[in-house]
């Protein structure tokens, strides 16, 4: 009998097999896989190659094995220190994003720029700025070309707002001039994000209010007192997070742009893949519940030009964010003028307006359920149930949290429930390869005392409100899933 293959070798073999798969596909198609040192260009052949399903599958398995290999090879004490101090990476990231380092380095070009020059443009201490960029470079965000000379790389360039650095620095100046707005509250300059792909807004939101809130989450859990969320504690605000945003319009603009980033961060089809909007009958009505600035409602209306879309949100969001956005963009304005799309102030805890009663083909909810604890989630879905016709569908787009073990039988039977079968010794949820869904879950806990849900939790919640899951569409590389429900029989 030969020596059994070591655990290290099993992991290394998974990496090699999957890198071989990617290399072979790259060779066949004549497209190189991008290196970490190249700049991100979503439209390039190389980046498009990385999100082809076969390539993505292989890269997820290799990522899972590689991170497990690192966690095994690195001394456990150092793995623990990394985990315990991960928040410093968030601090460094906020410093560089709000000081426009990415834009300054884009303007500097491939030779990069010395940190003293970056700091003098920004007006901050060059030592801590340099240490921030170096810490990030150590985590593969930016490159240090020679001592203290930095340049963008594939990850940092993704944050690029596309604006001139002078604009970002102008916003920083206004932010400083306005002074602090109270405990933990940043004087956010919302206009800085308009016209961007939203990624800088998302990174700032994560590293500012989410990070500050998360620091208070353990105290809440340990005291078992959920009367105030971690967000309310961090920002010393008694109302809801949405009320806070309405009082602080810069934050409102930032979170709405951060929502757009979720569309741009990953292959976009992933959000809309699955439900066949084109198959709806002409004049069918789709209601985008809590549609925010209507970015998804717009995509649906584009995909199925013969249907009608109603984008609903809180009155103030419709007035101050959604309507100006749709009036400013010609394609969207045309849809409003033709009557294909309607923007409507509507609280989703209230009864749907009479013009929609029993008239809706699909209620669409993207990133809504995860904002609410289950009790409120059930109330929202019950209101939609009350307005539903017998054939109305409910399409929920949210992240489905994978168990770290295989799905139980009752769930495995739902069409589309299992995505990738991970083989031993990999974790069933692919570990690091699906880490984003677990961090978003904690974001929801910190901001809203809410959560991302496993498929089992979704099943229980929708059934309590009178719906039943028919099918789940999942996409490798995107924890966003579409859960299609019909009225429970
Ligand atoms: C996480 S955002 C999602 C926005 C949008 N669906 C998307 O995916 O881009 C949540 C949305 O819910 C809206 N919202 C919060 N409370 C609401 C309520 N009671 N009625 C209607 N909309 C509400 C917020 O204004 C915000 O636009």
Atom of ligand 1 nearest to the CA of 348: 20
- Within a domain: 140: no
Answer yes or no: is pLDDT of 264 > 80.
Answer: no
Average pLDDT over the chain reads: 93
Q: What ranges in 85-226 are assigned the alpha helix state H?
A: 87-98, 101-108, 115-122, 126-138, 165-177, 199-205, 211-214, 217-223
Which numbered atom of ligand 1 lies nearest the CA of 317?
25
* Domain match, 185 and 284 both: no
Question: Which of 43-47, 112-116, 242-246 shows the lowest per-residue confidence on average (mean pLDDT)?
Answer: 242-246
The DSSP code for 27 is H
- Pair 437, 297 in one domain: yes
pLDDT of residue 266 exceeding 70, the answer is no
Residue 274 DSSP symbol: S
Examine residue 125 and state whether it is found in any structural domain, yes or no. Answer: no
Residue 31 domain-assigned? yes
The residue whose CA has the least distance to atom 19 of ligand 1 is: 347
325 with 460, same domain: the answer is yes
Q: Of 299, 313, 321, 376, which is best to mutate to test ligand 1, by the most ligand atoms within 8 angstroms of its C-beta? A: 313
- Which residue has the least CA distance to atom 14 on ligand 1? 290
155 occurs within a structural domain: no
Atom of ligand 1 nearest to the CA of 295: 9
- Ligand 1 centroid, distance to 469 Cα (angstroms): 22
Q: What is the pLDDT of residues 438-456, one digit of tens each?
A: 999 999 999 999 999 999 9
For 388-421, give the DSSP string: --TT-EEEEEEEBPPPSSPPPHHHHTSBT-----
The per-residue pLDDT for range 153-180, each reduced to its tens digit, is: 999 999 999 999 999 999 999 999 887 7
pLDDT beyond 80 at 398? yes
- Residue 142 placed within a domain: no
| Residue 141 forms part of a structural domain | no
Q: List b or e across 237-268, with b for residues whose CB sees 16 or more CB atoms inside 10 angstroms.
A: beeebeebbbebebbbbbbbbbbbbbbebbbe
Q: How far is the CA of 217 from the centre of ligand 1 (A)?
A: 23
Whether 385 and 316 share a structural domain: yes
- Cα-Cα-Cα-Cα torsion 451, 454, 456, 459, nearest 10 degrees, comes to 60
How much distance in Å is there from the Cα of 255 to the middle of ligand 1? 10
Residue nearest to atom 18 of ligand 1 (CA): 347
Last residue within a domain, chosen from 230, 265, 300: 265
pLDDT for 419 beyond 70: no
**Ligand 1 centroid vs 347 CA: distance in angstroms?**
9
Cα 200 from Cα 253, distance rounded (Å)? 12
Confirm whether 370 is a catalytic residue: yes
Nearest to 311 by CA among 303, 322, 325, 319: 322
Q: Using CA atoms, how far apart are residues 57 and 478, in angstroms rounded to an integer?
A: 11
DSSP 303-370: H-TTSEEEEEE-HHHIIIIIHHHHHHSHHHHHHHHHTSEEEEE--TTSPPPGGGTTT-SEEEEES-GG
Tokens of 384: 């939609």
Residue 274 has pLDDT above 90, yes or no: no
The verdict on 390 and 288 lying in the same domain is yes
User: For residues 280 and 286, is the Cβ–Cβ distance under 8 A?
Assistant: yes
Catalytic one of 139, 216, 370, 385: 370
pLDDT of amino acid 1: 56
For the segment 85-101, what is each residue's pLDDT rounded down to a tens digit? 999 999 999 999 999 99
Question: Which residue's structure tokens are 């054939």?
Answer: 391
DSSP state of 433: G
* Tokens read off for 182: 């109270």
Q: Are residues 231 and 295 in the same domain?
A: no
Phi and psi at 309, nearest 5°, equal -125, 130
- Domain finish residue from 241, 265, 289: 265
Name 484's bridge partners.
Answer: 395, 471
What's the 484 CA to ligand 1 centre distance in angstroms?
Answer: 19
**Dist. CA 146 → ligand 1 center (Å):** 46
Domain end residue (candidates: 62, 81, 100): 81
Does residue 371 share a domain with residue 248? Answer: no
Nearest CA to ligand 1 atom 6: 291
- Tell me: pLDDT of 392 over 60: yes
Cis ω for the linkage preceding 70 (within 30 of 0):
no
- 371, HSE (Cβ side, Cα atoms, 13 Å): 16
Query: Who has greater pLDDT, 214 or 415?
Result: 214
3-state DSSP assignment of residue 359:
coil
Q: CA–CA separation, 310 vs 297, rounded Å?
A: 8
CATH number, position 450: 3.40.50.150
Residues 188 and 255 in one domain: yes
The complex scores an ipTM of 0.99
Inside any domain, residue 108: no
Ligand 1 pocket test, candidate residues 261, 290, 369, 383, most atoms within 8 A of CB = 290
- List all residues whose CB is within 6 A of at least one atom of ligand 1: 242, 259, 290-292, 295-296, 313-314, 317, 347-349, 366-368, 371
Q: What is the pLDDT of residues 345-378, one digit of tens each?
A: 999 999 999 999 999 999 999 999 999 999 999 9
Is residue 147 included in any domain, yes or no?
Answer: no
List pLDDT tens digits, range 224-251: 999 999 999 999 999 999 899 989 999 9
Pick the atom of ligand 1 nearest to 259's CA.
Answer: 9
Ligand 1 centroid–CA 119 distance in Å is 38
Q: Which residue's CA is the closest to the ligand 1 atom numbered 26?
A: 292
Total tally of structural domains belonging to the chain: 3
Q: Cα–Cα–Cα angle for 170, 213, 252, nearest 5°?
A: 45
Angle of helix 87-98 relative to helix 126-138, nearest 10 degrees?
120
Question: Are residues 364 and 322 both part of a single domain?
Answer: yes
> Do 254 and 287 have their domain in common?
no
Ligand 1 midpoint to CA 99 (Å):
29
241, 258, 314, 480: which to mutate for ligand 1, most atoms within 8 A of CB?
314
Nearest-CA residue for ligand 1 atom 13 is: 290
Q: How far is the CA of 290 from the centre of ligand 1 (A)?
A: 4
End-to-end CA distance of the chain: 58
Question: Are 149 and 102 within 8 A, CB to CB?
Answer: no
Report the share of the chain in percent with pLDDT over 90: 82
Q: Are residue 282 and residue 207 in the same domain, yes or no?
A: no
Distance CA 431, CA 439 (A): 12
Structural domain of 354: 266-487
Among 323, 343, 368, name the best residue to mutate to test ligand 1's pocket (greatest count of ligand atoms within 8 A of Cβ).
368
The span from the CA of 402 to the CA of 95, in Å, is: 33
pLDDT at 272 over 90: no
C-beta of residue 322 within 8 angstroms of C-beta of residue 313: yes
Whether 257 and 272 map to the same domain: the answer is no
């Amino acid at each position: 009998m030969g020596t059994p293959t070591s655990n290290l070798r099993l992991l290394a073999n998974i990496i090699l097999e999957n890198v071989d798969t990617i290399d072979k596909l790259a060779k066949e198609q004549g497209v190189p896989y991008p290196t970490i040192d190249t700049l991100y260009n979503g439209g390039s052949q190389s980046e498009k190659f990385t999100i082809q399903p076969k390539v993505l599958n292989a890269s997820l398995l290799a990522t899972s094995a590689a991170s497990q290999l690192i966690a095994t090879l690195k001394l456990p004490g150092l793995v623990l220190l990394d985990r315990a101090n991960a928040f410093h990476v968030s601090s460094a990231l906020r410093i560089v994003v709000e000081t426009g380092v990415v834009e300054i380095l884009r303007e500097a070009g491939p030779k990069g720029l010395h940190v003293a020059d970056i700091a003098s443009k920004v007006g901050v201490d060059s030592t801590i700025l340099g240490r921030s960029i170096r810490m990030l470079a150590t985590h593969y965000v930016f490159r240090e070309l020679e001592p203290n000379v930095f340049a963008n790389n594939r990850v940092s360039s993704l944050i690029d707002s596309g604006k001139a650095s002078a604009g970002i620095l102008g916003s920083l100046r206004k932010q400083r001039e306005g002074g602090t707005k109270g405990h933990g509250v940043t004087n956010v300059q919302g206009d800085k994000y308009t016209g961007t792909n939203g990624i800088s807004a998302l990174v700032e939101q994560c590293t500012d209010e989410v990070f500050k809130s998360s620091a208070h989450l353990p105290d809440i859990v340990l005291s078992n007192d959920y009367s105030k969320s971690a967000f309310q504690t961090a920002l010393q605000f008694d109302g809801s997070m949405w009320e806070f945003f309405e009082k602080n319009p810069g934050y409102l603009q930032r979170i709405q742009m951060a929502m757009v980033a979720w569309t741009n961060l990953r292959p976009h089809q992933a959000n809309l893949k699955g439900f066949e909007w084109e198959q709806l009958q002409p004049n069918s009505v789709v209601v985008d519940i809590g549609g925010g600035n209507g970015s998804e409602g717009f995509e649906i209306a584009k995909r199925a030009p013969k249907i009608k879309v109603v984008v609903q949100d809180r009155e103030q969001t419709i007035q101050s964010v959604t309507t100006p956005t749709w009036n400013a963009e010609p394609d969207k304005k045309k849809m409003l003028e033709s009557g294909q799309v309607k923007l409507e102030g509507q609280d989703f805890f209230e009864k749907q307006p009479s013009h929609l009663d029993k008239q809706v083909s699909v209620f669409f909810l993207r990133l809504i359920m995860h904002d609410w604890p289950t009790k409120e989630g059930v109330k929202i879905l019950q209101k939609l149930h009350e307005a539903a016709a017998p054939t109305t569908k409910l399409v929920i787009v949210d992240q489905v949290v994978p168990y770290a073990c295989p799905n139980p039988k009752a769930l495995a039977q739902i069409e589309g429930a299992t995505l990738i079968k991970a083989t031993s010794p990999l974790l069933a949820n692919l570990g690091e390869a699906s880490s984003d869904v677990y961090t978003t879950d904690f974001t929801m806990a910190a901001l809203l005392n809410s959560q991302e849900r496993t498929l089992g939790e979704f099943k229980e919640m929708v059934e309590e409100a009178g719906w039943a899951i028919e099918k789940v569409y999942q996409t490798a590389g995107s924890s966003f899933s579409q859960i299609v429900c019909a009225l429970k029989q």
